Amino acid sequence: MKKPLIMFAAAMMLLGGQSANAIVYTALSGSNWNAGEGPAKLFDGTTDTNKPTAYELVIANDTHSNTGRNWKNWKIYAGNFASEADAARNASGWVMIDSKENQALSTEQFAKVSLSLSKTVSDFYSYFRIEIEALAGSWNDYCQMDGFTFTTYTVDTSAYDGVIAAAKNFNYNSSNADDDLKNEYATLIGTLDDLQEAAANSSDFSALDEALNNVNTLQKYINGYASKSYVVLSSVGSTWNGSDAEKLLDGDKGTKWGGGFSSGNVVWRLKEGIQPIYYQLTSGGDTQTYTGRNWKSWDIYAGDFDKAVDAKADAATGWVLIYTTADGGMTTQNTTTQDFDFTTPPTKSYRYYKVVLNSTAGDQQQMSELTLIDGTTFLNIKNAALQALQDFKTKYDYSEATDALKSTFNTAVEAREGYG
């Protein structure tokens, strides 16, 4: 007798005498005794076939008395074809997903036997083919099997349940963070259930793990805003205690970013974008003693990113270089603020910034503050300076000053009024 071949497709098709909604598999071809015992009967009343990891066989009703009819060696192939006609037995494109050799099966009537596929099924397939290569007995014993059902292996996903629940319970709305960041978080947690379900079906948890990693990252960002208008997204450089990257941007000239390294970087994100017109650096509190910690070569970038988690990536693209220097000429005085013009001033507003320190005057580094000055900030600085001059004029008897001093004073006022 010729070796039996059974082929079937996952499709909603009506077989004679059965209701449409109960049928998913359709046998396309194969060896059979007669219409009542053909391969179509192997696949009736089954479930879906997406990325199966196992299957169940149902032993025929009289195998116990005809044990030689049980399968012993067989292979299962999967494929995708444009049409049933293309899914020929000898067609190229079949992928073997299971191989069984000398497989012992129950001979009990209607026994259900669960078997794992020998290969990992990584794609979705519509067509499947079973090749029975040997029976428990001889080919003269005939071949029979009552049912075949693909099943998906159920992974214990309970370890993820608590993590996902915690992500949903994170009270991001009460944060000071901007709406974009909150929406990014809400969108991400909205995908977690689907990712978990997909992972459970495919046993591929990498996408879920990445999403949860980003959830943690976004929680850190959102918490980082607290009462601030910026958040540090990432930094490179092993810092001294109390001198983390946050200290470069905290608005406090008494704190500094510093450590025993001469190259590193800081990436940060503003709550609201700005178009800076120049920037300031404020030297460390002990730079006069440790002149080698002063920055020598550094770059500053601005950027736009759809998602906050994209900006932290080492491979992030889209950064725009707005300042670069091989030797910036920092003062060696303590806690002294210097102004720097951008080498390529930003032409629009940005929310993301990165400073890359390339080298210092020695083998350590420190900087108390990096301040981006936009038009509004500049006006505040200028008006404060003018006010100080006016206060000076009121406090001292301006009328008794010499004409030369008055002239010098008024020139200074006019210069500040006109600046900017």
**The token pair that represents 32 in the structure block:** 């059979």
Closest separation in Å from C-beta 267 to Ca ion:
17
**Nearer CB in complex with Ca ion: 51/256:** 256
Closest separation in Å from C-beta 266 to Ca ion:
12
Q: What is d(CA 55, CA 77) in angstroms, rounded to the nearest whole number? A: 13
H/E element, 77: strand 71-79
Closest separation in Å from C-beta 234 to Ca ion:
18
Sheet holding 112-116, edge to edge: 112-116, 54-58, 147-151
**The token pair that represents 308 in the structure block:** 């906050």
Q: What is d(CA 70, CA 66) in angstroms, rounded to the nearest whole number? A: 8
3-class secondary structure, 4: coil
**Nearer CB in complex with Ca ion: 247/293:** 247
Q: What is d(CA 144, CA 205) in angstroms, rounded to the nearest whole number? A: 38
**Nearer CB in complex with Ca ion: 246/310:** 246
**Nearer CB in complex with Ca ion: 193/252:** 252
With 0-12 CB in 10 A as exposed, 13-18 as middle and 19+ as buried, what is 364? middle
Closest separation in Å from C-beta 330 to Ca ion:
16
**Nearer CB in complex with Ca ion: 208/248:** 248
H/E element, 385: helix 375-395
3-class secondary structure, 21: helix
DSSP-derived letter for residue 348 is S
Q: Nearest-CB residue to Ca ion?
A: 255
Closest separation in Å from C-beta 251 to Ca ion:
7
Closest separation in Å from C-beta 262 to Ca ion:
19
**Nearer CB in complex with Ca ion: 254/362:** 254
**Nearer CB in complex with Ca ion: 250/310:** 250
Distance (Å) of CA 318 to CA 182, 255, 275: 23, 31, 17
Which residues are registered as beta bridge partners of 316? none
Q: Enumerate binding residues for Ca ion (CB under 5 A).
A: 247, 250, 252, 255, 368-369
Closest separation in Å from C-beta 271 to Ca ion:
18
**Nearer CB in complex with Ca ion: 266/309:** 266
Closest separation in Å from C-beta 282 to Ca ion:
7
Place of tokens 């301006």: 398
Distance (Å) of CA 390 to CA 224, 269, 397: 40, 37, 12
